[in-house]
Structure 1
């Protein structure tokens, strides 16, 4: 070919080469994007991770750590949500005042980009007490925590429903207490959740019968993977267990039908990182089957590992289990 023609065509050849190179890069980017998206889809669980503050109760109660560090601690361990325990702030409330504590928690959660999920309420009276006066007092005591949950941006509070181990007395009592509190909570767009937390609250058919009788959209359950003791020695709330609910997996499955939160409790782990008493993959499959896609709260209740080690072990087991669901 004539050198003059080649010279004239050279700019066009450069443009054609550049165009082909850009197309090649574009196609490669598309392949990479698809691959990354697929990988993300496969590794992202169907639920979000929150941390139950009870996992750090030794840090607060025994090591004199500040409960105000909760948001930063949870953030550093890879969590998105916070589940508060009200009585871990007893001293702070006495010193600073209730409103100041709640305002501080809101500020700290915003600082660390954390979602406030719920507050676990203890020590505010028994909503299932057979004595109506005691029950009504408990309802009133819980109202300020419903207000606090609303201010923090939580969706729920968790309540206790011990009362009595006599179903004939317990059901009408707890229905009355829950309905009164749920009626107030509905005005604040807050849910009132019953956890299987011992006694008749861990007897699933009895608890579900009570929730059915309350018959309010904002009164539901918080299924806990543990907590299956229905009778303890000398009738105590805590301590040596004499009788457990016979089928915890069937119990969890039923509780999930009314679940607005889930508590992934664990006690200890084997050399492969699996819980020694609970089949996490089986439970997580049930959670998926129920259609639940909200926060799953990590709650470490063991003694062998440190609190942080236990928290990380549950977190990792949840993520591993999520990869096995169908």
Structure 2
């Protein structure tokens, strides 16, 4: 693949935010109220507002540019963007400039961009796999401009292939993208996002095969179905333990419905084919026990409460557990 060389205008565009990305990585997690280090900070994943931003599900519409304002209304100072919410704006410098202006105005940090719909990094076709890497470059550039530390990608291949072959293909595409991420000082993190990627042993095997300091895992508390149709669920607690050594600077607290009767710190998805019950206290003990003290991002997908109420409920649980486990 021909090496990626930014044009002079692009270099100027990227230079504006390089320092902020480095500063974010070094920032301590401290409680302003008590002057002591907190167990973790809390961020907000934009997918928590997907119904509002994508204008579906009967929720009040929300403009993507107002996402950081909503995050700040909850007292949250870090956000994880989703590329689907501004899919055609990755190279729009004016639009990205407005996003950055609003971040700064609200005192909110852009932490990462979750990237989907850009092809399969483990595509068995060499040309398509290389094109997928190329498709992600604009998101790396946008992430740098916004002061993010990472982009989140998917380790997808052809599910009909043997798992070991999928692993090698995904590792090849990821390594190429990590080389590009390294040029920009960014991590490339993979989410457990269904299929083979939700198998802890498989995804950690991909990490080992990539063998690059910029690769990592963005563990999602709830995405552990390896085959939803067959109800094959990888053990979430085992998966979290396997993923934590590969975490860079982000963890995704997937939450569903609260107050279901399962217990105060239990969240449940009771939709047919999606049934799962998660013990947040147990998961957080795994995260904290691994030595992680960065941002944990709220990603609410419940159906009983509105998106805003679901975010609020999840925030309250995380705050209460943070205090209890300190």
For normalisation by structure 1, the TM-score amounts to 0.81
1:162–1:198: 8 Å Cα contact kept in structure 2?
no
Distance in structure 2 (CA, Å) of the matches to 1:280 and 1:213: 31
Distance in structure 1 (CA, Å) of the matches to 2:32 and 2:181: 41
- Give the equivalent residue in structure 2 for 1:52: 45
- Give the equivalent residue in structure 2 for 1:137: 131
Structure 1: give runs of 5+ residues left out of the alignment: 1-36, 234-240
- Give the equivalent residue in structure 1 for 2:34: 40
How many residue pairs are counted as aligned between the two chains? 278
Structure 1 pair 280/39, CA: closer, same or farther in 2 (3 Å)? same
Distance in structure 1 (CA, Å) of the matches to 2:206 and 2:54: 34
Find out whether 1:158 has 2:158 as its counterpart: no
Candidates 128, 133, 143, aligned match of 2:122: 128
Distance in structure 2 (CA, Å) of the matches to 1:267 and 1:189: 34
Distance in structure 2 (CA, Å) of the matches to 1:311 and 1:197: 21
1:179–1:214: 8 Å Cα contact kept in structure 2?
yes
Q: Any idea what SS the aligned residue of 2:86 has?
A: helix
Task: Give, in angstroms, the shift of residue 309 of structure 1.
Answer: 0.5
- Give the equivalent residue in structure 1 for 2:22: none
- 1:109-159 Cα offsets, whole Å, 9 max, x none, are 011110110000011111111111111101000001001111111000000
- Give the equivalent residue in structure 2 for 1:177: 173
Q: Any idea what SS the aligned residue of 1:117 has?
A: strand
Structure 2: give runs of 5+ residues left out of the alignment: 1-30, 269-276
Task: Give, in angstroms, the shift of residue 291 of structure 1.
Answer: 0.9
Task: Give, in angstroms, the shift of residue 220 of structure 1.
Answer: 0.3
Candidates 92, 97, 103, aligned match of 1:109: 103
Distance in structure 2 (CA, Å) of the matches to 1:38 and 1:293: 16
Counting helix residues as a fraction of each chain, which structure ranks higher?
A: 1
Q: How much is the aligned-residue C-alpha RMSD, in angstroms? A: 2.0
Candidates 89, 92, 98, aligned match of 2:92: 98
Larger Rg belongs to: 1
- Give the equivalent residue in structure 1 for 2:85: 88
2:225–2:231: 8 Å Cα contact kept in structure 1?
yes
Stretches (4+) displaced over 6 A: none
Distance in structure 1 (CA, Å) of the matches to 2:32 and 2:310: 31
For normalisation by structure 2, the TM-score amounts to 0.81
- Give the equivalent residue in structure 1 for 2:17: none
Q: Any idea what SS the aligned residue of 1:192 has?
A: strand
Task: Give, in angstroms, the shift of residue 253 of structure 1.
Answer: 1.1
Structure 1 pair 137/38, CA: closer, same or farther in 2 (3 Å)? closer
Task: Give, in angstroms, the shift of residue 273 of structure 1.
Answer: 4.5
Task: Give, in angstroms, the shift of residue 323 of structure 1.
Answer: 2.4
